[in-house]
């Protein structure tokens, strides 16, 4: 089943951090192939955004989180097929070596290095808003 072009797809962005480090994914698949993004993904039918954030975190990192804080919505509108409503969730996690991931390479990135990363421009605003509470 294809998704109608122009309609917004509901998804989640999961910001995982430990102190001043973020666990980010260097993606090997589109969208944003080769760029650093938070983990996340599409919301399944009949799934709440929070449940999707917990599931996506588990599926992409193997990390079980029991609490994720809702941080807002990012809406992206484009004349091409990339249109999303992203529910942003945040979780502080214990530090551990970055686990393997079939979506790309997970890496811990220091907060001071975020500005130099190849990442979607909207992500820097999200990190700033989260830091400011």
DSSP 50: H
pLDDT for residue 56: 97
| Model confidence pLDDT, tens digit, residues 94-117 | 999 999 999 999 999 999 999 999
pLDDT for residue 54: 98
pLDDT over threshold 60, residue 1: no
Nearest Cα residue to 87 out of 44, 124, 50 = 50
| Model confidence pLDDT, tens digit, residues 41-56 | 999 999 999 999 999 9
Do the Cβ atoms of 65 and 93 come closer than 8 Å? yes
Nearest Cα residue to 64 out of 26, 107, 14 = 14
Nearest Cα residue to 91 out of 124, 64, 119 = 64
* 39-42/9-18 β-pairing: antiparallel
């Amino acid at each position: 089943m294809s998704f109608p072009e122009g309609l917004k797809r509901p998804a989640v962005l999961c910001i995982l951090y430990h102190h001043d480090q973020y666990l980010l994914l260097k993606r090997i698949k589109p969208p944003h192939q080769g760029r650093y993004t938070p983990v996340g993904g599409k919301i399944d039918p009949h799934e709440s955004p929070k449940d999707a954030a917990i599931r996506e975190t588990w599926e992409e990192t193997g990390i079980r989180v029991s609490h994720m804080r809702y941080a807002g919505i990012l809406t992206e509108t484009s004349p091409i097929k990339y249109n999303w409503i992203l529910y942003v969730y945040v979780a502080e996690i214990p530090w551990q070596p970055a686990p393997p991931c079939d979506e790309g390479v997970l890496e811990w990135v220091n907060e001071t290095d975020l500005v130099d990363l190849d990442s979607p421009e909207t992500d820097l605003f999200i990190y700033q808003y989260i830091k400011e509470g």
